[in-house]
Amino acid sequence: MSLTVQTLRRTRIGSLALLIAMFYGCATPIPQDALRLPESTLEVRANQTRVLEAPSEVDILVATIAVLQDMEFNIDRIEKPLGVISASKVADADSDSEKAALLFLDMLCIVGGGSDCGASAKSQDDQFITLTMVVLPSLARSGQYSVRITIQRVVYDKEDRIRILERIDNAETYQKIFDNLRKSLYIQVNET
C-alpha cells in the first residue's frame, strides 16, 4: 500500500474513534424522575374530566355546542368520529378598575410634564381563549362517556405583544362548564 492510503485509513479510523468517544462521553444517565409527571397534573386532569351519562356521544356533542355558543365561543372545528370539539373566543383582558387606574396614571404623567406617559398602552388588551373538548365512551359501562375539557388563553397588550400564555387550571371554571353541560344535556334528552 502506498503511504497516502495508509495515512487516509489511519485518519478515518482515528476520526471514527474520536466520534465514538465524543458520543459516549456526552451521554449522561437519565434521572429516575425525568419522565414522571408532577402530582399537580393529576389534580388538573381531575378538574378537567367528568363522566356523563347520555344516550349517545352525539347528544353530548350537541349539548356542548349549545353551551359553548351560550358562552359566546365560536365553534372552530367538530370531529364527530373522534368526539372532539374545538372552540375559541376573543375577550377583553382588562378589568374596569385596571383601565381606570392606568388612565389616571397617564393623566398624572401628562400633567406633571412627563415624557414617558403610556401606562395604558402597556396594559393588557385582548385575550384569545381556546377550548377543546374530547368525548370518549366508557369501557366500564354502556351509556357513560368520559368528557375532558382543556382551556388555554393568550393575552396580548395594546401593541400586540404576548403578555400571558397559560393553561386555565381554575377548578371553578371547569365546574361551571360541566354544570351547564349537564343542564343542557338533560334538557336535550328529555325534550326528544
> For residues 98 and 94, what is the distance between their CA atoms, to the nearest angstrom?
6
pTM above 0.85, yes or no: no
Residue 152, pLDDT above cutoff 80 = yes
| Residue 35 DSSP class | T
| Mean predicted confidence (pLDDT) in 27-44 | 69
pLDDT, tens digit, 9 for 90 and up, residues 37-67 = 666 778 888 999 999 999 999 999 999 999 9
Q: Which residue has the higher pLDDT, 150 or 39?
A: 150
**Residue 162 — pLDDT band, cuts 50, 70, 90?**
confident
Q: Which residue has the higher pLDDT, 120 or 134?
A: 134
Superfamily of domain 33-191: Kinase associated domain 1, KA1 (3.30.310.80)
CB 135 within 8 A of CB 147: yes
pLDDT of 37: 60
pLDDT, tens digit, 9 for 90 and up, residues 80-90 = 989 999 999 98
Domain ranges in the chain are 33-191
With cell 343542557, the residue in question is: 184
**Which 3-state string (H, E, C) describes 76-136?**
EEEECCCCEEEEEEEEECCCHHHHHHHHHHHHHHHHCCCCCCCCHHHCEEEEEEEEEEEEE
| Residue 63 DSSP class | H
Name the average pLDDT for the chain.
79
CB 61 within 8 A of CB 85: yes
pLDDT, tens digit, 9 for 90 and up, residues 166-192 = 898 889 999 999 999 999 998 877 875
Burial class (CB in 10 A: 0-12, 13-18, 19+), 67: buried
